[in-house]
Structure 1
Amino acid sequence: MVDTAQTDERIKEISPLRKALIRPELGGIVGTIAVFVLFLLFASDSGMFASQGVLNWSLVSAQFMIIAVGACLLMIAGEFDLSVGSMIGFAGMMVAVFGVVLGWPMWLTILTTFAICMAIGALNGWIVVKTGLPSFIVTLAFLFILRGFTIFIPQTIERKTIIGGIRDAAEGDWLAPIFGGKIGQPLFQWLGDIGVIDVFERGSRAGQPVVDGVPMLIVWAIALVIFGHILLTKTRFGNWIFASGGDAEAARNSGVPVNRVKILMFVFTAFCATVFATCQVMEFGSAGADRGLLKEFEAIIAVVIGGALLTGGYGSVLGAALGALIFGVVQQGLFFAGVESSLFRVFLGIILLAAVILNTYIRRIITGER
């Protein structure tokens, strides 16, 4: 009688070490631990880990995180979007033009801006899948097109490239607080009252907590990370994303709607960029033509640090979120440590190179290449 419980000799056991090495989040986890240890040693006395300091680097990390989620899913699907930074500037300017210059209700302004930007994302994806052109080239073209419109439109209408008054235009609107408000104010007031977080000791805000709530930018970042992770790991569509980036032709032969998947990922990337832009203009109260510069590259770097392969078909939203967290902590940590802020760009280059080398090694482990 054949022992069916016996292990098939054709099945190779994977060692725990190899299982750990092929996890996309490995680099992000290691990098996050290293960065926090580094700044705990050299910047802990500067207030970096006080309530206000934590809020500062959390906000910066959330900015990176929002656009990294979209970039991650798109890269796993095998494509790039270099127009993300210009989309941020364009979306913010549309909010200012519709809401301030034209005087539209802010809720209508926001919804119209999302519709326009997501349509542009769909156009990006449609051109890529219909022409077969590399997404690098198509979105590079839209990088210039969107940046040009972002400068041209306000100059033509207002004779300037910065438009303010967004906060006044959003006053009393029902949709604006979803992007520019805060949550948890009573909780933070209570934490201030019992001494857990610092409070102002004098002035008109005496007794109020230094941090009086969680900004919606952070809420959006957390929500998008959760949504992206569930979509990628718990749904059939997530399997389609991996298949589309891993081997598009094999995926098509298996019935995966590759073109639709890629277009939808371009739309989602545009959605994330518009969320970022809307939160940004609500925070600053103005839109500028120079907003979003280089954000597309920072998003890609965060995704690469998080373990995504540049070739597609492999990656993790949680890893991308950790990459964004590393960015935020380092950018603010250099300031708190008294290091010249321009060295942040040096760090980006170094960590990108290290991440690509690590990812190349991981790909060889996965594929068995030498």
Structure 2
Amino acid sequence: MASSNLRCAFLGMGAAGSGLAIETVRRGGTISGWHDPNTEIADAVAFRGGLAYEGIVGRGAISLPPAAENSSEAVRDADIVFVSCTADKHADLAKAVAPALTAEQLVVLHCGYVGGTKVFGDIVAANGGAPARLFELNNTLHLAGKISPSTFVARSTKKWLEISGKSEDTEGSTYRAMMQMFPEFEYSENILLNGLNNPNFIGHVPAYVGNAVLHDRDLGEMTTGILHFHEARMGRVNLLCAAVEAERDALISGLGLKPLPTREFDRRAYPAGSRLEGGIARFGPKVQKRYVTEDLPCALVPMESIGRHFGIETPLISGLINMVNIFEGVDFRKHGRNVEMLSAKWLESFCARA
């Protein structure tokens, strides 16, 4: 199968999903269906006839078919299903779409966080779905936002991403066509390490905690305006980020695996020419609730639980979970991806401890 013949479905058409959909069309693929629970996106796309884009990816527009009524309808007839909702929504989406998936389809989590394909696959199987061929990316393709429901703006585009899944699922023309369409994707068999090396939480959670005073105030651009994400990592918050990264890397090393430092991630993902310098100076709110509703249950909670299982201490990660639980009045440990959910046997299959 040639990449130009790929039929792709998109579940989630926020900034991440829109960017990937735009690249799919620009590279010759076809969008066979899409769905997003935000009806404003469907209405805006229907009015415009598609998505407009600008920024580092250039300026233009793509056509889109009308939004599907639900996720099951969206994936019908697709060769690849790209899942671009936040990771904390993976379980609900897997349950909803399970009856519609086929064994021939590829399902790609964009991105997976820790154990994304394990959680998604288990729920699909528990709800009568076919044994899907699941993959997960270690991050999203763009650093981007939306200035309207149908207008995508990219500040940077990654030139490298890691994609992980079972080696037997890499056989076949659909997988080869996807990798041809997205040469940025580099395959790795270690699904657990893929999620642990996702750098998002290193910036997200310290930024949320360090700027907690902003959450209940409207300070214009500080909370609602167009700001660059890295502004949240300035000053003392960045010291916390560095400490969190060091603890994560110690956990990964303790599992007998190799951590990917954020500097090395940036070097691979963002070579010269991949970031927009000037022009769009800022985008996205400085602090978002997503920084904890996604990152705590899908990154910090599993890291703490994995550390406890293997006898590796994670005091800072545990402290951040405790703090955010207090701030939000939510016990994120109750519904997080812990060892019981991921299974000790699955985790141990990826570790290289002596």
What TM-score does the superposition give when structure 1 sets the normalisation length? 0.25
The structure with the largest alpha-carbon Rg is 1
- Which structure shows the higher strand fraction? 2
Higher relative contact order (CA 8 A, sep 6+): 1
- Which structure shows the higher helix fraction? 1
What TM-score does the superposition give when structure 2 sets the normalisation length? 0.26
